[in-house]
Amino acid sequence: MDFHGKVVLITGGSRGIGRSIALEFAKCNASVIVNYRNNDKEAEKTIEEIKKLGGYCETIKGDIKEYDFSKKMIQYIIDKYGKIDVLINNAGISKVGLFIDMTEKDFDDIMGVNLRGVFNTCSNVVKHMIERKEGNIVNISSIWGGVGASCEVLYSASKGGVNSFTKALGKELAPSGIRVNGIQPGVIDTDMNKWMSQEDRKALIDEIPISRFGEGEDIAKLAVFLASDEAKYITSQIISVDGGYI
Ligand code: NDP
């Protein structure tokens, strides 16, 4: 798949799944723009790895749950590169714990990044895509958005929202030549799961038919495929990549 001349914006690309997606697009010759929130060192590593591949990457630091930041970031990209061909909404946070311990702030933080963040970018990118009558959006959701997880009620609700948002927006934008799809990862080996003990990991792996955690690359390959012309008849879909877990 060749993305030469295409501009791809990936939120949350300093680490984890987002970095893998950034690398995969760079391998396909895209111009990659990576947003992240705090972690300058990790963002720098994403740039270095992309440079090693001979690719192009620019990073933009800022909080995706802030509408004004999102608007300014997208305007900056449009002014500098002239367009955004592909938007990957990947930035996300989770907080594991009993529902009774979750606070209003937890609700605002999780919904703010995971769901409002997707609204913020789409709201600002879609109008440019509609003008050009082309574009691709891939939202990184979670298997818990489909089935719900105990001790991740707010996270599950935010990702359930992302799933419905994706399906609805895909239908609305299809006549404008824009496709919108979602990916539901299972358990992927990133910082998000670092809180697990070795025993927790082993017990969880025993429940996954493919007998391992996923890698960022497992998600990245599908993200690139969905954004490519190879997937030109696929829209409004939520696809699980979970080693058969659910
Ligand atoms: P990580 O915690 O490894 O990385 C999160 C990334 O998101 C970082 O780049 C981080 O930036 C960025 N980020 C977080 N909050 C914001 C914000 N407010 N504004 C901008 N960027 C932000 O997460 P994963 O790679 O594991 O997860 C990526 C996506 O995949 C998430 O949406 C997650 O919900 C989803 N997912 C992950 C699964 C897993 O098992 N790992 C399973 C299912 C879904 P910084 O480095 O600056 O903090």
The tens digit of pLDDT for each residue in 10-20 reads 999 999 999 99
Q: What is the dihedral of CA 120, 167, 192, 204, to 10 degrees?
A: 170
Q: Which of 57, 87, 188 to mutate to test the pocket of ligand 1 (most atoms within 8 A of CB)?
A: 188
Select from 80, 89, 63 the least CA-distant residue to 7.
Answer: 80
Task: Give the nearest ligand 1 atom to 219 CA.
Answer: 30
Size of the chain in residues? 246
Looking at ligand 1, which residue's alpha carbon is closest to its atom 33?
92
Gap between the Cα atoms of 128 and 119, Å rounded: 15
pLDDT at 43: 98
pLDDT at 177: 98
Contact status, residue 106 vs residue 28, Cβ threshold 8 Å: no
Gap between the Cα atoms of 150 and 156, Å rounded: 9
Gap between the Cα atoms of 23 and 89, Å rounded: 15
Q: How far is the CA of 18 from the centre of ligand 1 (A)?
A: 7
**Banded model confidence at residue 182, pLDDT cuts 50, 70, 90:** very high
pLDDT at 190: 98
233 is catalytic: no
pLDDT at 176: 98
Which tokens is 73 given? Answer: 């970031």
Question: For residue 5, with 0-12 CB atoms within 10 Å meaning exposed, 13-18 middle and 19 or more buried, which class applies?
Answer: exposed
- Active-site residue among 56, 155, 233, 245? 155
Q: For the chain, which domains are there?
A: 7-241 (3.40.50.720)
pTM here? Answer: 0.99
Please give the share of the chain, as a percent, with pLDDT higher than 90.
100
